[in-house]
Structure 1
């Protein structure tokens, strides 16, 4: 698109059925591999590059088989990763944790783009997670600063964002990493870590400071071990 041109409606990186299939295949509760956390069912959401929600799915057998509140969290994670990533630099939501802490260079970031409440709480709950979820076609907004959101790249550039929620934030990151790969939208050109790009970085010291400035705390399970196996994490070890 030429510089300064109007932003036409962006295409959705994935349809509902592909997202649903990829999510179910990568959540243990729905038959997928372990992700190191509670191993609960999950929500996933995708926004197009223009920030419009275009696909939402859940992995469980019913809409309340995963945390109901995680539908909006997943959508806001997708919005965050898309909104704060560029063609030549990907940021996962996990990369934002350290910077937003008091005294950090991003302190207050999570309050800068409030969620669209009119969209968030509208529509028939019977349609949640379906191909015609009430959020589809709307901008959700919101900024989430813990694991589970990744930008999506198709090899030609950035095409949107993916958010996953319903487990620990560390496990959400692992699921999102797997789902992004399953969708073929993991052609990430660069990120904050030269080797693992927008991976979750476990480098907080006992005082809570991040050596890299992009760190995320360990969660209570085996998420860091799984992330290491996937190439989705840097540093850390399972808490003892």
Structure 2
């Protein structure tokens, strides 16, 4: 069977990422403002592009390469043509006692793909993850499904800052790629935005909430339309 088409190649992903991370010349996203990794998976779950915003691969957290790919896999794998879920939308439901508790364990990372290849090629067009399914489920901000206006075409993952800032960067990168034609989500008004409605006791009013991070990420998300304020929104 032929592989699904890649919704964004390496060069487009790299340009969009660099333009939307403060450390590489883009706007602020409210967190640590560090460099970031980004990954795209096609609709069949195969990784098809990976990039980093800094000058070298170790200018951003090395571990975030795989986290970004797993976020992309999660958003793609748990979204449909008519219902978009961001990885941020999964936080509340996967906490102990929640209806999605244990979700993180359901799709193990493809170990053979995750740690293979020459590290010198990580983040390049020839990254060894390209063409392989990575698996993994991440339940905090930074992963979004990709939509071209006709259907879902894959997923985007961003990692390397706070999870809240990762969500903001992903939101901006998706828009820069022109793949933000989201049909619907858990909140029809904000689609797959991050929902800041977790109370001090850890409960989410909507059931789809995500905790605030330490910076100004929530304020930036509100400005972007990438976040929904709640009872503890700053």
After TM superposition, the score normalised by the length of structure 1 is: 0.96
Corresponding position of 1:131: 125
Question: How many aligned positions are there?
Answer: 233
Corresponding position of 1:79: 73
Corresponding position of 1:185: 179
Corresponding position of 2:114: 120
Corresponding position of 2:33: 39
> For the Cα contact (< 8 Å) 1:221–1:238, is it kept in 2?
no
SS at match of 1:64: helix
Larger mean Cα displacement after TM superposition, 228-237 or 183-192: 228-237
**Among candidates 45, 48, 61, match of residue 54 of structure 1:** 48
Which structure 1 residue ranges, 4+ long, deviate > 4 Å from structure 2? Answer: 236-239
SS at match of 1:163: strand
> For the Cα contact (< 8 Å) 1:220–1:238, is it kept in 2?
no
SS at match of 2:171: helix
SS at match of 2:3: coil
**Structure 1 runs not aligned, ≥5 long:** 1-6
SS at match of 2:164: helix
Corresponding position of 2:167: 173
Corresponding position of 2:217: 223
Corresponding position of 1:4: none
**Structure 2 runs not aligned, ≥5 long:** none
> For the Cα contact (< 8 Å) 2:34–2:161, is it kept in 1?
yes
Measure how far apart 1:9 and its partner are: 1.7
After TM superposition, the score normalised by the length of structure 2 is: 0.98
